[in-house]
Structure 1
Amino acid sequence: MNSRLFVEVGLMELIQSDVTVVGGGIAGVCAALAAARNGVRVALINDRSVLGGNASSEVRVHINGSAYHGISPSYYGREGGLVEELKLRLFRYNPLYNKKLMYSVSDAVLLDLVYAEPNIDLFLNTSIHETGMEGGRVAWVEGLQLASERKFRFESPYFIDCSGDGIVAYQAGAAYRRGREASSEFDESLAPEEADSYTMGDTILFQTREESFKVPFRRPDFAYDITKLSFFENLKKGLNSRALPRKLGNLGGLWWLEYGGQLDVIGDNEEITLELRKLVYGIWDYIKNSGEYDNVDHLILDYVCPIPGKRESRRFIGDYTLSQKDLTEKPPLPDAVAVGGWAMDLHAAKGIYDEAPATAFHFVPGLYNIPLRSLYARDVPNLLLAGRNISASHVAFGSTRVMATCGCMGQAVGTAAALCVGYGTDPALVGRDRVSELQARLLRDGQTIMGMREETDPYFTSGLTVRASSQRRYSNESGTETAPLDGGLCLVLPVCTDRAESVEIRVKNGGNSSEQLQVTVYGGERKETYIPGPELKRCSLDIAPGYDGWVQLELGCERPADDKVYLVLEGSAELSVYCNEDKPVGAVSFLYRPEYPARVRKWDKSICYRNMRPEQNMYAPGHVVNGYSRPYGLPNVWISARREEAGEPDWLELAFAEPKSLEELQLVFNSQLDLEHFDHPIGPLIKEYNILLTLADGSERLIEVRDNYLSLNKHKLDAERVTTIRLEFLATYGWPYYEVFAVKLYAPKA
């Protein structure tokens, strides 16, 4: 169809498009962008005046996801694709976003993305109130835009429900779940023994600000005196994961100030909202006027969100219901289209009034895949789903509900909808007959699908050579400080040879007697995670008093299943290991904490090492065309030598044995995927570079890129008879290396 039609029918305006997306949160924005960028006309409908849903200025929640606050057991856990682009754009235009300030700028970033896309027609302040069905399919939805007194009927062959509560799916009569399933239904150890109707509740966040003058506060008459409420004494004591903060200043709200899970979170919405307002103003009154807090005279209650952030309501049933074991055991899912990785974060049903802890974070072992079969309604053939309304059990939903994961699902269904339009087929059939094409499109657009790599066209790989100006050694030698080993540290080293025989680390004994360095070598079992598995070897070394130098650790093991060896180093407070703030890709250092499920915890330092035997060609230029765009077992990256060592500007060069036609070139740079959020420029990200194409007739074509801030850079070239591609790197955001995960080549369509 690829057309838009406005027809006034009485007082109703008819909007026709290829795909209608209902809901303008992160899932809906990503769904609309993905569909539109894949060439179809999209109507995007949102019932609020701004985009972003819970991430908007109206609700003010961070866009969290599979990186799990930067402590994911996958380490390189942040999502790719549109969610990655969105986070980088948010930082670019609004560096204070992650400090819970200036959310209005974030609203503008989302609007900017949507307004810049010519294939999207945006309808804000438009509430869907009726859904029309023909032959069991959604034929249209009708919406009211109250401020403009306009009525719309939206018609399209395919619909995507990203509305959170699933308003279209509900009105279409799609089957859904609500509440908590019994543990027996999906064999879930975290589910209750008997099913019930409890959901997670809502929260109203608020913003405080410090002024230069005293600001009084008077509690509104409708608000609670919280000292008279049942939870007050436990709150004062900081029990059950709920505690009033002692440091206030620019406070961004209290996530555990939650209510409504024991009610109908849709039908009782107004009652829940009023209760939360009573609580917010009551708690602020206590902070300001109880006399229990110092330095609050200059604090003002700057902003109270007008609507609650909702966590859970309806979950619609697809052809597959994602459950606890899909997250923990990770069975193969042939129609995988997105990833998650947040903990199974299950909140107490009665919220602030519950005697149980506010939430329980249940361990998820790193990235897991989400199948397309969970992202459409099984009984409404043309209706796709993304966000918190997908086909998942309550337990699995505790992980999938966070917004970055919802955005990944949005990109998946938006892309799937474009395929549906192109082939005139339905989502279930795309998942059955065209899933490889869907996955290929998603990978091309930067989507992360755990364990999947993008196959390079043999047209390019035949006779291809890849060279570079320099290459980083697989070592980290310049120790700038020492860290004691009384708490235990873990150095993880990827291995690309059949065996790992030995490696050297630098230690220091600051005591007056000999100290023992205890070394335990573990292997791992899953390439996407950094979790020690089976013990491979245990040994100890005597370190003489006053010794300060390198020692060789004998590994003597075959390469583990996850391509990594884990060296746990333990000793006394007098015995230390050298470290620095460098971050060699793949070679990760952790605090060793065996009491935690992952047995490791993130650390902001890197242990020094050198001379791994056999030698590991870990950062070779050829890795940029191996199909991976991030670490997976191995680092899958080319890294230059340090720039002060390299001398001339660094470069990568791809040369073809025969001239090639090149429609598009993509470059994937290192944007520190171990971070969930970032408040400073991403050091390794390449800021300035040139692309130099040499053609068969000897002529050259130069593309200069300055002030880049994205990790995935797409260049439409439409070049004929290319013999050489030379990439010249000129500047990063402060990193002494150039780091490139992928150079992706695409030929013109036949």
Structure 2
Amino acid sequence: MKIFPQTDARTFPTRTLHADLLVAGGGLAGLCAALAAARDGLQVILIQDRPVLGGNASSEVRLWANGATSHMGNNNRWAREGGIMGEIMEENLWRNKEGNPVMFDLVLLDLAKRQQGLTLLLNTAVYEVEKAQQRITQVKAFNPINETFYSVSADQFCDATGDGVLGYLAGAEYREGAEDAGELSEKMAPGDSFGHKLGHSIYFYTKQTDGPVRFVPPSFALQDITEIPRYKRLTSTLNGCDLWWLEWGGRLDTVHESEEIKWELWKIVWGVWDHIKNSGHFPEAANMTIEWVGAIPGKRESRRFVGDHLLSQQDIIEQRDHYDAVAYGGWSIDLHPADGVYSTHDGCRQFHSKGTYTIPFRSLYSRSLDNLLLTGRLISASHVAFGSARVMCTCGLLGEVVGRAAALCQTRHLLPRELATPEHIGALQTQLQANGCYIPRHWLSDPAVGATVTASSEFQLTELPANGRWQSLGERMALLLPIKAGEHLPEITLRLRSTSAQQLVISLLGSARAGNFTPDYQYDECAVRVDDEAEHRLTFHWQSDRDQYLFLAFGAQEGVDIALTDARIPGLMTVFNSLNARVAKHTRQVADGDFGVDEFDFWLPRRHPHQILPALRFNQPLTCWRAQNVLNGRLRPEQQTNAWSPALDDKVPQIIWRWDAPQKLQQLTLVQDNDFDNAMESVQMGHPYAVTPHCITHYRLWVDDRLLAEVEDNHHSVCQHRLDQPLAATCIRLEIVATAGALPAVYSLNVS
């Protein structure tokens, strides 16, 4: 028993804490920043104002996390985010392929709680910032659950709050709304009719029951469904993120009027459900009920802070490569009308670049403050560029960048602006790539620090045997094939069939920009006459002037089929000139006005388990999977496969790194294939596999014939082995015991 006598007043307790880095905001960006900094040795405090992590990806909002893969609906091949963001998505696939948002919460919380050096404060909101000159020195925060104030000082601060709470309270320069078209020469800059900000959305889940369910709408539900111009698009099967376009609030203050926006969205949601249940237009909805409705909105846009570079439309569309490139994006420039669901405009205006674009470090810190790093959707970008960079997997990737940048700034006594200079930025780029973060058109210099490499075998592609199944060529289809500078494509034999004699044209297409997968050029073509079922030989009289991926493109020809194979080869892919309605309206990007964007065809793969490869035979083998590839520092198929794969009949594949003199080892980072083209949306959609087929699931790592590690049930593309004490060795051997069913591929063993 405790008895507390009456007093004049009481105050809540205050806890005083200190960290090397304070991260405010526990969405994917903030979590990745905190994990990266802690893994690089900093003491980190992560403050999150919600009871779970994940932000818009959490069970409170339930928007699926996505990024450069764009639902596999654009031409960004092998573009899924790597590093910690990739680790999160792979872990979620392993534990939660069904897409349960509560399980995604668990994945994120588990990662944070088990990370040494990371202190997590949930349900805690920052409300005050203290400064000395141009540096933030401490923040004050409050947790209403444990009735505790926190006073947290730190050497560096990272704002990942989405709304920019730290930057706002500290007086940093920021922007809201869209720039005028003339300021940055952005032709996609919206006018007043379209509006200058994106709104919020609230999602809901439905489910079928065994019997009829009555729905009585609340008093505040929307009464007249025709107030929503797109209401005829509503169906009883739309669910969750399918209704992203139930959006509103872009003409309001999306920070201070968020509660008003929430109530309007609840009005819309319950009005929509009333229409589905009670209008009589959806009799199949009689046995349906709402299982969940979001209690807080998913917010798209509020403040954007200003760094030393303002990311613009041209950076994205022209795919500008910056000297300080540290990350990349690939989602379309995706702008929504400010009036949202009440607008007569389409729900979004989306334009894609021809490939991925890089994001400079100069956009990831405040130019107003010396120790404030920026990540997530508040980075230094125009409204137009923000329309692409705002998606969550891109934000998570940017989180890791600033976390590792904070560690370098701490150890090298640099300000973020100093780290961004040409003489220092290479250290950050190296650190990111050494930890498995892919940066387009950049590569890691000497990842194995001078080692030579040999392997038990090397895969050579001579034949993909037919399996008895066929694919119609009723739509344009292409096989992506790597070819090296100075080489001719070998003669190719295919099996085709047709019910009537007709001509099929096959073209060699290529991309103008290195690393892109959007065909700009036609190099050559040949035609074959198909009648009944037979083998056909393709010969092309063309020589490549550079390393690149070719499109072996089959013209659309109804009535012609091509034989398929069961083989799955890393670095090879079949794509179709087709449409993904989630991110595009046509099979070709068409600009219905002068928006300063390119027009081009979309070439899309199919999702697991529906990916296919044509059966074929080469008269000379393709030798693009050599052991030497693991030394080139390229972490994805880009211009070449850039990976080692063993021969199909190699029962105990292994690859060996050797040094002439003993090499000091502290950390080994294995980067291997985990199907980087496979979108791993975090919630709702669901996936067929818990592990993608090429992943090395069981391996042994030997150091001078001593077993350093045996890993079973692996499901990650980046596998790190940190040694408690440095070890001198002359040899490292990777022994592959098992994969998830397909041929493995190893990109690199990064040694430090």
- Please indicate, yes or no, whether the TM-score normalized by the shorter chain is above 0.5: yes
Aligned to 2:534: 548
- CA deviation string 1:512-556 (max 9, x = no partner): 43x21212222222232211122222332333x32411x332222
> CA–CA distance in 2 between the matches of 1:15 and 1:721?
39
Q: Report whether the alignment pairs 1:685 with 2:695.
A: yes
Aligned residues of 1:456 and 1:745 also touching (Cα < 8 A): no
Q: Which amino acid aligns with 1:125?
A: N
Query: Among residues 450, 461, 464, which one is paired with 1:460 in the alignment?
Result: 450
> CA–CA distance in 2 between the matches of 1:174 and 1:438?
25
Question: What's the secondary structure of 1:600's corresponding residue?
Answer: coil
Q: Report whether the alignment pairs 1:230 with 2:227.
A: yes
Q: Report whether the alignment pairs 1:325 with 2:346.
A: no
Aligned residues of 1:625 and 1:744 also touching (Cα < 8 A): no
Deviation at 1:378, TM superposition (A): 0.7
Pairs within 5 Å for 1:489-504: 489-504=477-492
Residues 435, 251 of structure 1: CA spacing in aligned structure 2 closer, same or farther, 3 A cutoff? closer
> CA–CA distance in 2 between the matches of 1:196 and 1:298?
39
Aligned to 2:285: 296
> CA–CA distance in 1 between the matches of 2:614 and 2:647?
19
> CA–CA distance in 1 between the matches of 2:214 and 2:737?
54
> CA–CA distance in 2 between the matches of 1:412 and 1:684?
27
Q: Report whether the alignment pairs 1:269 with 2:258.
A: yes
> CA–CA distance in 2 between the matches of 1:502 and 1:144?
67
Query: Among residues 429, 437, 443, which one is paired with 2:433 in the alignment?
Result: 443
Q: Relative to structure 2, which stretch is displaced further, 34-43 or 526-535?
A: 526-535
Deviation at 1:283, TM superposition (A): 1.0
Q: CA RMSD in A?
A: 2.2
> CA–CA distance in 1 between the matches of 2:702 and 2:138?
50
Q: Relative to structure 2, which stretch is displaced further, 47-56 or 604-613?
A: 604-613
Aligned to 2:400: 411
Pairs within 5 Å for 1:503-652: 503-513=491-501, 515-543=502-530, 545-549=531-535, 551-561=536-546, 563-570=548-555, 572-580=557-565, 582-592=567-577, 595-596=588-589, 597-603=600-606, 604-611=611-618, 615-642=621-648, 645-646=649-650, 648-652=651-655
Pairs within 5 Å for 1:343-358: 343-358=332-347
Aligned to 2:751: 745
Question: What's the secondary structure of 2:541's corresponding residue?
Answer: strand
> CA–CA distance in 2 between the matches of 1:139 and 1:743?
40
Aligned residues of 1:183 and 1:194 also touching (Cα < 8 A): no
Deviation at 1:687, TM superposition (A): 0.9
Deviation at 1:471, TM superposition (A): 2.3
Question: What's the secondary structure of 1:618's corresponding residue?
Answer: strand
Aligned to 1:713: 719
Query: Among residues 461, 471, 490, which one is paired with 1:483 in the alignment?
Result: 471
Aligned to 1:656: 659
Q: Which amino acid aligns with 1:509?
A: R
> CA–CA distance in 1 between the matches of 2:727 and 2:201?
57
Pairs within 5 Å for 1:390-405: 390-405=379-394
Aligned residues of 1:668 and 1:740 also touching (Cα < 8 A): yes
Aligned residues of 2:21 and 2:157 also touching (Cα < 8 A): yes
Q: Which amino acid aligns with 2:426?
A: S
Q: Report whether the alignment pairs 1:363 with 2:355.
A: no
Aligned residues of 1:473 and 1:641 also touching (Cα < 8 A): no
- CA deviation string 1:144-196 (max 9, x = no partner): 11122211121112110000000111111111111111121111121136799
Aligned residues of 2:32 and 2:396 also touching (Cα < 8 A): yes
Q: Which amino acid aligns with 1:500?
A: H
Aligned to 1:306: 295
Residues 561, 362 of structure 1: CA spacing in aligned structure 2 closer, same or farther, 3 A cutoff? farther
> CA–CA distance in 1 between the matches of 2:697 and 2:182?
53
Q: Relative to structure 2, which stretch is displaced further, 472-481 or 30-39?
A: 472-481
Q: Relative to structure 2, which stretch is displaced further, 663-672 or 120-129?
A: 663-672
> CA–CA distance in 2 between the matches of 1:132 and 1:18?
16
> CA–CA distance in 2 between the matches of 1:206 and 1:581?
40
> CA–CA distance in 2 between the matches of 1:491 and 1:197?
42
Aligned residues of 2:447 and 2:750 also touching (Cα < 8 A): no
Question: What's the secondary structure of 2:36's corresponding residue?
Answer: helix
Deviation at 1:733, TM superposition (A): 1.7
Aligned residues of 1:568 and 1:592 also touching (Cα < 8 A): no
Pairs within 5 Å for 1:202-221: 202-221=200-219
Question: What's the secondary structure of 1:295's corresponding residue?
Answer: helix
Aligned to 1:153: 151
Deviation at 1:20, TM superposition (A): 0.8
Query: Among residues 708, 726, 731, which one is paired with 1:724 in the alignment?
Result: 731
Q: Which amino acid aligns with 2:433?
A: L
Question: What's the secondary structure of 2:298's corresponding residue?
Answer: coil
> CA–CA distance in 2 between the matches of 1:417 and 1:326?
25
- CA deviation string 1:220-241 (max 9, x = no partner): 11212243x4225x412xxxxx
Q: Which amino acid aligns with 2:618?
A: N
Aligned residues of 1:520 and 1:567 also touching (Cα < 8 A): yes
Q: Which amino acid aligns with 2:162?
A: G
Query: Among residues 122, 130, 136, which one is paired with 1:138 in the alignment?
Result: 136
Deviation at 1:424, TM superposition (A): 2.3
Deviation at 1:422, TM superposition (A): 1.3
> CA–CA distance in 1 between the matches of 2:162 and 2:548?
40
Deviation at 1:721, TM superposition (A): 4.4
Q: Which amino acid aligns with 1:63?
A: A
| Structure 2 segments unaligned to the other structure (5+ residues) | 1-10, 579-586, 590-599, 681-686
Pairs within 5 Å for 1:95-174: 95-97=97-99, 101=100, 103-174=101-172
- CA deviation string 1:89-114 (max 9, x = no partner): 112222222xxx3x222112111111
Aligned residues of 2:447 and 2:631 also touching (Cα < 8 A): no
Deviation at 1:27, TM superposition (A): 0.4
Question: What's the secondary structure of 2:499's corresponding residue?
Answer: coil
- CA deviation string 1:491-512 (max 9, x = no partner): 2211024122443141323234
Query: Among residues 210, 234, 238, which one is paired with 1:244 in the alignment?
Result: 234
> CA–CA distance in 1 between the matches of 2:128 and 2:181?
36
> CA–CA distance in 1 between the matches of 2:306 and 2:449?
42
Q: Which amino acid aligns with 1:158?
A: Q
Deviation at 1:354, TM superposition (A): 0.5
TM-score, length of structure 2 as denominator length: 0.90
> CA–CA distance in 2 between the matches of 1:269 and 1:512?
63
Q: Which amino acid aligns with 2:499?
A: G
Residues 581, 397 of structure 1: CA spacing in aligned structure 2 closer, same or farther, 3 A cutoff? farther
Aligned to 1:240: none
Aligned residues of 2:194 and 2:345 also touching (Cα < 8 A): no
Aligned to 1:341: 330
Deviation at 1:215, TM superposition (A): 2.2
> CA–CA distance in 2 between the matches of 1:572 and 1:196?
41
Question: What's the secondary structure of 2:196's corresponding residue?
Answer: coil
> CA–CA distance in 1 between the matches of 2:214 and 2:64?
30
Aligned residues of 1:502 and 1:552 also touching (Cα < 8 A): no
> CA–CA distance in 2 between the matches of 1:361 and 1:43?
37
Aligned to 1:4: none
Deviation at 1:199, TM superposition (A): 0.6
> CA–CA distance in 2 between the matches of 1:175 and 1:197?
22
Deviation at 1:625, TM superposition (A): 2.2
Residues 457, 605 of structure 1: CA spacing in aligned structure 2 closer, same or farther, 3 A cutoff? closer
- CA deviation string 1:91-139 (max 9, x = no partner): 2222222xxx3x2221121111111112111111111111112112212
Aligned residues of 1:476 and 1:584 also touching (Cα < 8 A): no
Q: Which amino acid aligns with 1:363?
A: H
Aligned residues of 2:460 and 2:622 also touching (Cα < 8 A): no
- CA deviation string 1:572-598 (max 9, x = no partner): 323322223544233322223674423
Q: Relative to structure 2, which stretch is displaced further, 496-505 or 679-688?
A: 496-505
Q: Which amino acid aligns with 1:349?
A: A
The number of residue pairs the alignment matches comes to 711
